[in-house]
Structure 1
């Protein structure tokens, strides 16, 4: 049987996936045709591959569709869509994970080694500062999902003293794990670097607030490649201005692109990157989609299946 797969995303996405997605399906042994919105009747669609900002917002007409497979790791903008009643899977992609691990470890090492003092040194000061060893530096990773766990494991391999926090208890080799509301402050207490990799849900909004910043080691660093609402922006600026925090490296924001004139752009203790910490690569994302369709056709649980109650 030939499967009808609807691809719903902005035109620039289709250009990227037009070749690799059919190729990945064929290589996986899936007999399928890929359509864009308007090219196939809704009642004939078997699977929907979509970006949450794409043209399909009403999923109700797709009465035969077996699953909606997101091209994004974050599903906060679609998980509450009442028309989306079919199984929903977020993107779990090897290149997404690898890219995040590389970005996070790079930023952690940047702050751990104090590289900024040498990169920005207009006075040409001979700054003889010996950084501590990784084994003497506490790094806390908030969020131990696929991305957070991979980053925590990479930091353990670099010999950092790694803590992790998640909604429910997780066991990660070499990581001191905390969970639940009571475990949050314990996880950040005395931490010199905090990495945020939590999903955006009502329960995680402003998880890093004034109390959490105050619990960190004085002169600590915050790295956020997760979601903008995880941080109370006003509390972050106050912590930076008081010296409680030395620097914040932010890749995600409440409004993107970050508006011109926003305080973060000009703040001397803030580094802004343009939501580039990790990105799905069309070739590997297409392979992940094909693998999930194979699982669904075999009656197996989808990789990245979203828990509607938890919001991710």
Structure 2
């Protein structure tokens, strides 16, 4: 690990001001991802600004009937909060499928959004990776890409986003609140928070330099009854997904009146399925409907040399999530 300067600001304004002075600066929450990357010499910050103790640890109700999740609250407390469990059980289910309890006890909500890819070329500093070293090439493009993206990839990067929490947040139509150095703030729809790689894969999000995540806003609860997060992985615990699906449904009898859907580990960002959501509205909940929805979800998939299997796997994952969501009562 390389030398760095450590800062422990007393408030958010101080943290924002410290970050704005130097672009080789990272905010440090739980450190469950960043510290590992520093140990592997993948991330080389000159400055770390500790934000874990900043006062964004509450879950509060919003004026529109939703919830605001504090950015520095840890994943365990968030997933098990009574209002999250009651009104957003899809989020609880997704969060509790991630990592281990010890990691969830440390990982913050804001930090979860900022996870870096687990692509092996990104972690191995002797290999080419445009995300780690822009201009060096994408080793996975024609290499070991069995776990790489099906959607939205570019010649510069075929990596996927690793988060489980973020897949559920995409399905739930969340928003991200961020603070800026001048004291202002802005709100980013979740589908616009992460970005596709294009020719700048080193940029995972649309955050501006120095911006600090302060909260995650959930809209009024829409899917408290019919929901499921289905995660397919190589072992039953402590493993990242090969493919995952977050499903929320509103139903009248056996008819779907509204849907919130997203896929995980198929793109550089959580993959929101807006076209499939529209397709399902007004349809009867049946296996044939769900199989047609899965075909629609993957009709634009662009497999690489070694990950074509993820298309069929992804379809079956989405179908299972839809079946299980519809069956809940």
TM-score over 0.5 for the pair? no
Larger proportion of helix: 1
Q: Please identify the structure whose Cα radius of gyration is greater.
A: 1
- The TM-score, its normalising length taken from structure 1, stands at 0.24
